[in-house]
Chains A and B, each alone.
Chain A
Amino acid sequence: MAKQYETVIGLEVHVELATKTKIFCGCSTAFGGAPNTHTCPVCTGMPGSLPVLNKQVLEYAIAVGLATDCEITRYGKFDRKNYFYPDNPQNYQISQLYLPICRNGGVEIETEEGGKKIVGIHEIHMEEDAGKLVHDEWEDCSLVDYNRSGVPLIEIVSEPDMRSAEEVIAYLEKLRLIIQYLGASDCKLQEGSMRADVNLSVREVGAEEFGTRTEMKNLNSFKAIARAIEGERERQIDLIEEGKAVVQETRRWDDTKGESYAMRSKEDAQDYRYFPDPDLVPIIVSDEMLDEIRAKQPEFRTEKMARYKEEYDIPDYDIDIITGAKHMADLFEATVAICNQPKKVSNWLMGETMRLMKEKEVDVEDLRFSPENLAKLITLVDSKAINSSVAKEVFEVMFEEDIDPEKYVEEKGLKTVNDEGALRKTIEEVIAGNPQSVDDYHNGKEKAIGFLVGQTMKAMKGKADPGMVNQILKELL
């Protein structure tokens, strides 16, 4: 019988924090911007410049630590990680090795079998991002853009507690949700504000010792992560089955080819010569600071779900979906606060919003319509000023550019015609023009009335109340 293998996975997750300014200087963290416009002597490594810690970075890191059940380090330090590369202006990265801000935490995930399990968090540390190299192939030279240099990151290092791609995704989704709820980051994998490196080894089921692990980089989506895990598991098992050894190394995943290649082995591993950065003072987390951050912790998903059930009387399924993304939950609550129609708001979010997000490939964080406008739209439908199909058209425009639905309906003349005389006249014309359907109806084909309603709506350019059309049709027939 073939040997059975178990996959052992640990993750290193980098999260870019949503601070306005960089970790050690006052420069903007805004994405984009012409090269080297968000820079100063500190983040370009000019001689004589000195770093000063952005307190918000520390607060976010602690908040994430508290939300993931970590111990908070009360006396911490920053360390220098020394290595030469042009995107690293000082040729050392300020990070934390010896006394990271958070340790020994964990998050609970649901396993495939429907059970629950804790994925341990070894540590969370703060560090600065590097700049970006731009290779100019025409000029045969490379340029450096330091706009990213000094953007704050936290690195969340898990224990090797995951056993499958599904668990990895569940863990990442859980982390992302927690961090989004905290407002500490938008956690977008595609844009790189959340990056995960996968440490993976395999061992025979029942074995005590871990196998030799590899580290996989360049994973830009959950799908890529799942494929990379599958690919690496297969690769390692094949090696073992062939009697070869797995080499401890860093590999780069090529998602289009569906394979990875070795970047550097452990033998090439640099000696980073870590030591405490003498330019920064020790990080002392006082009781007051900890209490303050604790008091500011937001309502997390579990608590929110319970409250929704209590307050809004909407189905569990809806609650599950809406609270699955912080932005969606915020939109829901803000809209309900205006129009006080939880179920209708939920329907719009669960139905049209989800459909359009899928169709147009929009992330939940990038939804543009405002709660005010969604509430107005719901009110327009409630008051029968527009019918539901017109409402869907209007919503599609709102989805694209957050227009004011009241104004839009007015300008485009989309209001439902409530003039019964005009409607009656149109219906009479439809009946006269479709004798076959009228006959079918009289012969018991109930469905024929649907066709006549459709014809009427078409003639009315959609601006009629379908209920009213139905009623008048039945009466005239």
Chain B
Amino acid sequence: MSDILDMTAVELAAAIRAGKTTAVEATEAVLARIEEKDKELNCYVTVCREKALAQAEAVQAKIEAGELTGALAGVPVAIKDNMCTEGLLTTCSSKILGNFVPTFSAEAVLNLEKAGAVIIGKTNMDEFAMGSTTETSAFGETKNPWNTEHVPGGSSGGSAAAVAAEECFYALGSDTGGSIRQPASFCGVVGMKPTYGTVSRYGLIAYGSSLDQIGPLAKDVTDCATILEVIASHDEKDSTSVAREDTDFTKALVDDVKGMKIGIPKDYFGEGLDEEVKNAVLQAAKMLEEKGAMVEEFDLSLVDYAIPTYYTIAAAEASSNLERFDGIKYGYRTPDYEGLHNMYKKSRSEGFGEEVKRRIMLGSFVLSSGYYDAYYLKALKVKALIKKAFDDAFAKYDMILGPAAPTTAPKLGESLTDPIQMYLGDIYTIAVNLAGLPGISLPCGRDSKGLPIGLQLIGDCFQEKKLIQAAYTYEKGRGVFPSAVKKA
């Protein structure tokens, strides 16, 4: 059984197609691993055992009938709990949606199901994706499979940890300011945030609508490209969805970076960056250079402005997006109240956690009359300038290389005591969302504590293929990264 769990998603699908194993066996193996590990790790909010087994049987039958031939058919997947799944609890790791069962599935989830995915369950996250550690979940923190005293990162911490702990073969996450790339970095897996508009947001419970993108968390770059190819689609139900013709991402799985121009922003290697992380990332850059890429340092500028800009825009949008959770139509309603106003106030006060309330207040403030121009409008202007800085960079370089996070995974409980410090941890990922760019994070070493370090590659809009090609090339050079389970 453990042999199955060691496989990548693409390897497993090939084995199933070849009749060496079945979707049912793979599902049972994953469920057994969850049984064994998840009490400790808490990657999942919901595991849908019966449903998954039934879906695995149905998918297996279709594979055998030749109706499902895709590269992911029969492979068990975990879905972050902010993506709607029809008939399956979807909580955003919040008490306020603790009983919410959607009537429809997110477009990305439907795309996976069409391709023969078996949904194992819904993964834990920071409440409404607000947080960098998965500690703000109303259902307990997720632990890092590499070292359970450490956080898995966030907000897609459950998804990243589940992939690392082999509690699924791959997972979907969402990334508003680094929520895929940072946990991927902390958990030693590959995570990718595509260009804004590449994956439909329909059915993704919004945090910061103009920044949110769904993306894969996977065991390697091949899986990552394969998953992205399946979930990317033009969806008329999402006005911000882009019709792209270049979503054949697996075509970019080529071991070659000759002639590629890679820029390393000096601003990403200054104060606050852990020495071990810095060395591992520069080592990775060196390897790409040895493989034929042109690597040089440059000044990106405006890096310091990304965090305040992000927290203004994301909080503003979130304060409005989360208004619908009011105890009227679905979700948590306070048991005792007097009148409508009191019901709203108590339901929301009791239903939301501290970090969510902090951001709702922040967002309401920056949008309020008299402050709108000074904060929200100014943030939009800075956002445009940040995009311009990236445009200038991509006029010279095919991609930007840097760390995904300034440190490896912090210890549980260290981050929430100082939210500002936690916010600063997003410094390398956040600007990518503000500019709508694609970014990929992949493991490039481990620190002295044995915790994984993530390398981040950032591309221009719609240039995922370049990132995939460079990441794939790096991965080939690096060799197999040890699994969190074996820690070899």
Interface size classification for chain A: 20 to 34
* List of B residues within 8 angstroms of A92 by Cβ: 320, 323
The answer to whether A47 touches B328, judged by C-beta atoms less than 8 angstroms apart, is no
Decide if B117 is an interface residue (CB 8 Å cutoff).
Answer: no
* Cβ distance B109 to chain A, nearest Cβ, rounded Å: 10
* Cβ distance A276 to chain B, nearest Cβ, rounded Å: 9
A144 to B84, CA, bound (A): 24
* List of A residues within 8 angstroms of B367 by Cβ: 82, 273-275
* List of A residues within 8 angstroms of B344 by Cβ: 84
Decide if B268 is an interface residue (CB 8 Å cutoff).
Answer: no
Decide if A211 is an interface residue (CB 8 Å cutoff).
Answer: no
Interface residues of B in 63-99 (CB under 8 A from A): 83-84, 90, 92, 97
Chain B residue at smallest Cβ distance from A272 = B369
Segment with Cβ contacts to B, from A3-11, A50-58, A172-180: A50-58
* Cβ distance A335 to chain B, nearest Cβ, rounded Å: 43
* Cβ distance B374 to chain A, nearest Cβ, rounded Å: 14
The answer to whether A52 touches B236, judged by C-beta atoms less than 8 angstroms apart, is yes
Segment with Cβ contacts to A, from B134-142, B196-204, B216-224: B196-204
Decide if B206 is an interface residue (CB 8 Å cutoff).
Answer: yes
Q: Flag B353-385 by CB within 8 Å of A: 1 or 0 each.
A: 000000000001001110010001000000000
A465 to B364, CA, bound (A): 81
* List of B residues within 8 angstroms of A444 by Cβ: none
The answer to whether A279 touches B324, judged by C-beta atoms less than 8 angstroms apart, is no
With contact pairs A273-B367, A275-B372 given, residues A50 and B239 touching in the complex (Cβ less than 8 Å): yes
Q: Flag A70-110 by CB within 8 Å of B: 1 or 0 each.
A: 00000000001010101001111000000000000000000
Interface residues of B in 318-344 (CB under 8 A from A): 319-320, 323-326, 328-330, 340, 344
* Cβ distance A275 to chain B, nearest Cβ, rounded Å: 5
Segment with Cβ contacts to A, from B45-53, B100-108, B445-453: B100-108
With contact pairs A41-B103, A92-B320 given, residues A48 and B240 touching in the complex (Cβ less than 8 Å): no
Name the residue among B317, B323, B364 with the largest chain A CB count within 10 angstroms: B323
The answer to whether B372 touches A281, judged by C-beta atoms less than 8 angstroms apart, is no
Chain A residue at smallest Cβ distance from B372 = A275
* List of B residues within 8 angstroms of A80 by Cβ: 320
A80 to B323, CA, bound (A): 11
The answer to whether A89 touches B329, judged by C-beta atoms less than 8 angstroms apart, is yes
Interface residues of A in 260-281 (CB under 8 A from B): 271, 273-275, 278-281
The answer to whether B100 touches A84, judged by C-beta atoms less than 8 angstroms apart, is no
The answer to whether A48 touches B206, judged by C-beta atoms less than 8 angstroms apart, is yes
Q: Flag A12-50 by CB within 8 Å of B: 1 or 0 each.
A: 000000000000000000000000000001001111111
The residue from A51, A82, A84 contacting B239, defined by CB atoms under 8 A apart: A51
Interface size classification for chain B: 35 or more
The answer to whether A273 touches B103, judged by C-beta atoms less than 8 angstroms apart, is no
* Cβ distance A143 to chain B, nearest Cβ, rounded Å: 11
The answer to whether A279 touches B240, judged by C-beta atoms less than 8 angstroms apart, is yes
With contact pairs A92-B320, A273-B320, A281-B240 given, residues A50 and B84 touching in the complex (Cβ less than 8 Å): no
Secondary structure of the A contact surface, majority rule: loop
The residue from A44, A47, A89 contacting B90, defined by CB atoms under 8 A apart: A47
* List of A residues within 8 angstroms of B250 by Cβ: none
The answer to whether B239 touches A279, judged by C-beta atoms less than 8 angstroms apart, is yes
A278 to B367, CA, bound (A): 14
* List of B residues within 8 angstroms of A41 by Cβ: 103-104
The residue from B103, B210, B320 contacting A46, defined by CB atoms under 8 A apart: B103
With contact pairs A47-B90, A52-B239 given, residues A278 and B317 touching in the complex (Cβ less than 8 Å): yes
* List of A residues within 8 angstroms of B239 by Cβ: 50-53, 279-281
A383 to B234, CA, bound (A): 65
* List of A residues within 8 angstroms of B83 by Cβ: 48
* Cβ distance A270 to chain B, nearest Cβ, rounded Å: 10
A398 to B208, CA, bound (A): 60
The answer to whether B328 touches A52, judged by C-beta atoms less than 8 angstroms apart, is no
Interface residues of B in 234-268 (CB under 8 A from A): 236-240
* List of A residues within 8 angstroms of B84 by Cβ: 47-48
A47 to B207, CA, bound (A): 11
Additional A-B contacts beyond A47-B102, A86-B340 (7; CB < 8 A) = A44-B329, A46-B329, A47-B205, A92-B323, A144-B329, A273-B364, A279-B239
Residues of A within 8 A of B (CB): 41, 44-53, 80, 82, 84, 86, 89-92, 144, 271, 273-275, 278-281
Residues of B within 8 A of A (CB): 83-84, 90, 92, 97, 100, 102-104, 106, 201-206, 208-210, 236-240, 316-317, 319-320, 323-326, 328-330, 340, 344, 364, 367-369, 372, 376
7 of the cross-chain contacts (CB-CB < 8 Å) are: A41-B103, A41-B104, A45-B324, A46-B103, A91-B323, A278-B317, A279-B239
